[in-house]
Amino acid sequence: MKDYTKAPECNPILMEKITHSVKESDWRAAHGVLFLLLMAICSLIPSLSRWPWIWVAPFSVYFIVVGCVPPLRRSLNWLQGGKVSPTSIAATIGLMVVTVLVLTYFQSTMKPDVRGFGTFLPFKAIGGASILGVALFSIVNATLEESVFRGVLFDALQSRSGGWVSLAATTLLFGVGHLNGYPPGPVGVCLATLFGLAMGGLRIWTGGIALPIVAHIAADATIYTIIAS
């Protein structure tokens, strides 16, 4: 007869996997906390409030800390290109075309004053309105922003709450984060939020940040051209 007073036996291998999974989830979430903390500290330093230091400074310290802490290094899951397919490439190209058309239409109809953005972006230092300037800004900024929103923060939230919660949260953060950016105003925030939603969808679909970066480059190239000219 079975003794029901006896504690059930636990599979040590299964328990080890569960424990490891929980710890990995905690460390993945720690990446997001660490980066937000570094962003907050860097925002208090005036010399780091201009582009690109507002992103480069916290990322530099972040990677140093991650490299020095083994659990953080092992849980660096967000730094992946993802799976690229003909369908996802076609969708990305479609998003790029739509984004360029929407931004161009917004500028031509709303005609917002963009002179104030010169205090934030070092136009002369990165080549002004030249092809080099457009390429440098769009590639660097798109890579940094996607690494933050669809990389560090997305993976940190996904590890605790799942992909859809992470998509909603990072989309809202992206929209609010562009409150003082281009496109300006409430309409601009809505457009940035929709763009963030599309980038988050690409992130979930492909499992990486490569295609979101590519799509983001088209948006930033258009924005930089509008502002610099």
The pLDDT tens digits for 128-160 are: 888 999 999 999 999 999 999 999 999 999 999
Instruction: Give pLDDT tens digits for 38-61.
Output: 999 999 999 898 899 999 999 999
Contact 29, 160 (CB under 8 A): yes
195: tokens are: 């763009």
For residues 69-108, one letter each, b for 16 or more C-beta atoms within 10 angstroms of the residue's C-beta and e for the rest, the string is eeebeebbebeeebeeeeebeebbeebbeebbebbeebbe
pLDDT band at 20 (very low <50, low <70, confident <90, very high): low
In one-letter notation, the amino acid at residue 223 is I
pLDDT of residue 13: 54
Q: Would you state the pLDDT for residue 9?
A: 52
Q: How confident is the model over 74-103, as pLDDT tens digits?
A: 999 999 999 999 999 999 999 999 999 999
pLDDT of residue 191: 96
Residues 37, 14: Cα–Cα separation, whole Å: 35
**pLDDT of the residue at 90:** 98
- Cβ(77)–Cβ(148) under 8 Å? no
pLDDT of residue 15: 41
| Widest pairwise Cα distance in the chain | 86
Q: What percent of the chain has pLDDT over 70?
A: 90
The candidate with the shortest Cα–Cα distance to 146, out of 225, 209, 61, is 209
Is the predicted pLDDT of residue 10 greater than 50, yes or no?
A: no
What share of the chain in percent tops pLDDT 90? Answer: 75
pLDDT one-digit tens code per residue, 200-211: 999 999 999 999
Does the structure show a pLDDT above 50 at 7?
no
* Closest by CA position to 78, among listed 26, 155, 157: 155
Q: How confident is the model at residue 4 (pLDDT cuts 50, 70, 90)?
A: very low
